[in-house]
Amino acid sequence: MIELLLKELAFGVSKLFPDALFYKPTQERIVALTIDDAPTPEDPDDYSTQLILDAIACDNQGITNPEERSRATFFIIGGHLSEHSTILKRILQDGHEIGNHGMIDDTHAWLHPQEFERQLKEAHDRLLFLTGLEQIRWYRPGRGLYNQEMLKAIKRLGDSTDYNLKLALASMVPIDTYEILHGNPQFIAWYINQFVFPGAILVLHGGSIARAKHTAAALSIILQELRRKNYRVVTLSELWDSD
């Protein structure tokens, strides 16, 4: 009953904002896990993002079928990447996906349209250069806000690269960025689990050592609970491409 209500709510919101992906209609017990704001700036060893990756890797221990391993889409802030960072390489090696979260940790909808377009392309080009990937499929706006000028810029970038860059949001409102909750990963895990339904898009955050620690701790609970409920945890692309 709760899953049905959540799906109906997500459907209603998606009708109001048809240009963004909030969830994927499906009967399959599958959810996409997304991590925003990685990596942490001035964290040369990428310690904080490693914690999140370690939590997912720990959940995957002993799972021999690759299709059953939990995977996530990491939305990377280009300006957070240090010159010698290897964190993108590990994200991909662990089977995860990389998305574009702009160059700065800010509300992208407040940028002048030309500045937004410049930063969008700069982040896109930097991710392609550092990863060797042919394309980045997903962009998520800072603070989850967007406008028509941003949509035009996203389309132009997609057209120029012969790829349909998509704007992805989530089927929940995140609360894990509030400092008051950083000491309570159990509550964050409980909150996340209230928004689980087939096709849901979940979101947690890195971007600081404190947030990453509590995201890692919450993920240890969330992934175990999702597995108990027979959900597969996948990247955005896997969710989008599913039947």
At CA 206, angle to CA 117 and CA 24, rounded to 5?
A: 70
* Separation CA 178–CA 157 (nearest Å): 33
Query: 138-169 pLDDT, tens per residue?
Result: 999 999 999 999 999 999 998 887 778 999 99
Q: State pTM to two decimals.
A: 0.94
The architecture that CATH gives domain 2-241 is Alpha-Beta Barrel (3.20)
Q: Give Cα 168 distance to the centre of its chain.
A: 8
Distances (CA, A) of 180 to 107, 192, 203, 207, 208: 22, 16, 18, 16, 15
Taking only the tens place, the pLDDT of each residue in 46-57 is: 999 999 999 999
Distance CA 152, CA 4 (A): 34
